[in-house]
Amino acid sequence: MASPTSLLKRLLLGRPFRSDRLQHTLLPKRIALPVFASDALSSVAYAPDEILLTLSIAGASAYFFSPWIALAVVVVMLTVVASYRQNVYAYPSGGGDYEVATVNLGPKFGVGVASALLVDYVLTVAVSVSSGVANLGSVVPFVATHKVLIAVSAVVLLTAVNLRGLRESGTAFAIPTYGFVIVMLGMLLTGLFRVFVLGDELRAPSADLVIQAEHSVTGFALVFLLLRTFSSGAAALTGVEAISNGVPAFKAPKSRNAATTLLLLGTISVSMLVGIIWLARLTHLQFVEDPNLQIVSGPEGYVQKTVTTQLGETVFGSGSILLYVLAGVTALILFLAANTAFNGFPVLGSILAQDRYLPRQFHTRGDRLAFSNGITFLALFAIVLIVGFQAEVTKLIQLYIVGVFVSFTVSQVGMIRHWNRHLRTERDPEARRRMHRSRAINTFGAGLTGAVLVIVLITKFLLGAWIAIAAMAVIYVLMLAIRRHYDRIAVELTPPDEGRAVLPARNHAIVLVSKVHQPTLRAIAYARATRPDTLTAVTVNVDEKDTRDLQADWERREMAIPLTVIDSPYREITRPILDFVASTRRKSPRDVVTVFIPEYVVGRWWENLLHNQSALRLKGRLLFEPGVMVVSVPWQLASTASKNLDRLDATLSRTPARGPRSAVPPLVATPPVAAPPGEGGPENSGTMGNSRD
């Protein structure tokens, strides 16, 4: 009978998917658009607000510049979309900016881009959800008074939906996303139709307010204010890069579908952003940074509403059902905008884990074939930001977009080098013309996004952008440290290409294998030394590529014993091995089955966080199987040398003093037998699981 915890998990997440169901989770364009583009589409709900409230610092007359600021944002948006259409064709594997930077500029640039994107994804969730709460709170007072609680609850709900799987979350989010686009475009077209065709004079609820400037802004100060306004409006570009990171999630042809989705995203976002700013100017809409300070003449008890809410009230009428529909879908799309990050962050985390810059757990798919660990970590960090900044959009927005423009700029520079490299070898005139055109697009994109990055850093650094920069630096250093750890472990575990054969000396039955490395060779040598009646090596197929690599390495090294591969459609390790052992027992119920488990031992507590504990779980189950003996064959890593072993040495007073790990005698002392260099003695033990680390 299933445990209550297991039943609750199945109720919330559903039944697990087999690995061969992965193809069925791929997304068509109509579903991929709301999944990957909801962030960029929803930005029109707060980017115009940021443009107008920043201009209001200089007074109502500064609203004159709002169309030009919007036009500048549109130019950057179209440039970035055109640039990323080149990316998805050149690098369709899903690495996005990280892969482009790593391949063309080097690993350190790739890690820098990855750290920027990880921070930006977390901020996307925090900003989008907080903005959704702010919009909903303008019509529902309870939400306004409990905005932190509502925001955290929304993140938890989004996490649960995404843990159910990519396709299911996309289907759930498609209707509200398309609903938002239809209602928003409908409002804009209706308003423009009434102004230019019917000749109606539309005035926003804030049109007759008298506002004063916070500061007198002229000369250089005005230029700085316009640059700051532009950097705030550039928040509309966040989320564009998510499509290039999510190309593997598209149905075939992946690159073409991703490029088409990018084009749709750019067209819709630009249309809505321009339409909102245009209609705001036609209706004389005003939106200020500090209503209590800047509004000097207005209705008693005036509460400032968002730009989209004011436009909806102006076009549809106060109290209209369409106004509430607009407010509802706007709040909903802002909540769902976080879904872009929930799809981008886990995929990027999986790629980084595969490249050994993040713990291997980020590369593992959960029961529903989603990257569950990445989704969970993203939710936790976003909740920390929401609670820490009390779900205040104005505060969170200052940390925003720094990371995304870092990735934009570095990615475009990498693409320039990509085209330069291919042009050196390409001789076909038509292909060269296409490459020259693509390089020109990426060159213009690099220059423009680089300029925007400088503007953002100058105008937002002291307002909070320094926090995002500091977070990027910390993540960058942490990822390099993780990579150094894994590289050091790989060197320690890699067996020599040529070595003396280890002769048998004892009994043996089954050796569990994850890779052909030093712990595995020691376990095989020890098992053969036990002189078993039967001898086999067993591995569990949880990843087709890893299994094929293992089989090829096994054959290349001409191992003396056969390798048995057990298929695991649900990517579980323990149950297939238990079934295999049970089947062996049924064939010979009077015999004893001995399972040899190779392990390596770490000396620092934090190193355990970077490796899973498969061996512990497996041993815990095998110990309860009748007629089954479990033998741990430890391999001590260099970090165990820092452990205080004086107490152990005292109990072994008759043995020689312990020396450095490199000087520990081989496991088998028979003269003709040679163990791989660096092996520890039989008294060593550990709890580190045999995994694909």
Pairing of strands 210-211, 295-297: antiparallel
pLDDT at residue 22 tops 90: no
Cβ–Cβ < 8 Å for 164, 370: yes
Q: Stretch 238-256: mean pLDDT, rounded?
A: 77
Q: What is the pLDDT of residue 372?
A: 74
Could you tell me which CATH number the domain at 506-643 has?
3.40.50
Q: What is the pLDDT of residue 651?
A: 45
Confidence bin at 574 (pLDDT 50/70/90): confident
pLDDT at residue 476 tops 90: yes
Q: Look over the chain and give the mean of its residue pLDDT values, rounded to a whole number.
A: 78
Who's near 540: CB < 8 A, 6+ residues apart? 565, 566, 568, 573, 576, 577
Confidence bin at 186 (pLDDT 50/70/90): very high
| Alpha carbon distance 43, 234 (integer Å) | 9
Residue 323 vs residue 244, higher pLDDT: 323
Residue 501 vs residue 108, higher pLDDT: 108
Q: What is the pLDDT of residue 94?
A: 65
DSSP 676: P
Q: What is the pLDDT of residue 10?
A: 52
Who's near 231: CB < 8 A, 6+ residues apart? 401, 452, 455, 456, 459, 460
DSSP 302: -
Please tell me the least confidently modeled range out of 7-11, 136-140, 196-200. Answer: 7-11
Residue 360 vs residue 173, higher pLDDT: 360
**pLDDT per position as a tens digit, 668-692:** 333 333 333 333 333 333 333 333 3
Residue from 354, 341, 365, 338 nearest 95 by CA: 354
Residue from 337, 302, 55 nearest 180 by CA: 337
pLDDT at residue 298 tops 70: no
Residue 35 vs residue 420, higher pLDDT: 420
DSSP H helical segments within 288-428, as ranges? 291-294, 307-316, 321-354, 372-388, 393-396, 402-423
| Alpha carbon distance 144, 140 (integer Å) | 7
pLDDT at residue 376 tops 90: no
Pairing of strands 593-601, 563-567: unpaired
Q: What is the pLDDT of residue 309?
A: 85
Q: Stretch 555-572: mean pLDDT, rounded?
A: 86
Confidence bin at 530 (pLDDT 50/70/90): confident
pLDDT at residue 656 tops 70: no
**pLDDT per position as a tens digit, 124-161:** 888 888 888 877 777 677 887 888 898 898 888 888 87
Q: What is the pLDDT of residue 658?
A: 40
Q: What is the pLDDT of residue 164?
A: 67
DSSP string, 456-524: HHHHHIIIIIHHHHHHHHHHHHHHHHHHHHHHHHHHHHPPPSS-------B---EEE-SSSSHHHHHHH
Residue 6 vs residue 149, higher pLDDT: 149
Phi, psi of 567 (to 5 degrees): -75, 140
Percent of the chain with pLDDT over 70: 82
Q: What is the pLDDT of residue 457?
A: 86
Instruction: Classify domain 35-485 at the CATH topology level.
Output: Amino acid/polyamine transporter I (1.20.1740)
Q: What is the pLDDT of residue 500?
A: 59
> What are the residue ranges of CATH 3.40.50 in the chain?
506-643
| Alpha carbon distance 387, 148 (integer Å) | 6
Q: Stretch 7-23: mean pLDDT, rounded?
A: 50
Q: What is the pLDDT of residue 160?
A: 80
Amino acid in position 395: K
Beta strands in 172-284 (DSSP E): 210-211
Q: Stretch 257-263: mean pLDDT, rounded?
A: 87
DSSP H helical segments within 138-165, as ranges? 141-145, 147-163
Confidence bin at 278 (pLDDT 50/70/90): very high
**pLDDT per position as a tens digit, 584-643:** 777 766 778 889 998 878 777 777 777 657 777 888 888 888 878 888 888 888 777 766
Q: Stretch 241-263: mean pLDDT, rounded?
A: 80
pLDDT at residue 663 tops 60: no
**pLDDT per position as a tens digit, 207-219:** 888 887 766 666 7
Cβ–Cβ < 8 Å for 519, 669: no
**pLDDT per position as a tens digit, 340-353:** 778 778 878 888 88
Confidence bin at 97 (pLDDT 50/70/90): confident
Cβ–Cβ < 8 Å for 509, 658: no
Element spanning 568, H or E: none
Confidence bin at 96 (pLDDT 50/70/90): confident
Q: What is the pLDDT of residue 678?
A: 35
| Alpha carbon distance 301, 288 (integer Å) | 16
Phi, psi of 219 (to 5 degrees): 60, -130
Amino acid in position 581: V
For residue 202, how far is the Cα from the chain centroid?
44
> What are the residue ranges of CATH 1.20.1740.10 in the chain?
35-485
Phi, psi of 330 (to 5 degrees): -65, -45
Integer-rounded Cα radius of gyration of the chain: 30
Three-class DSSP category at 539: strand
| Alpha carbon distance 174, 651 (integer Å) | 67
Q: What is the pLDDT of residue 477?
A: 95
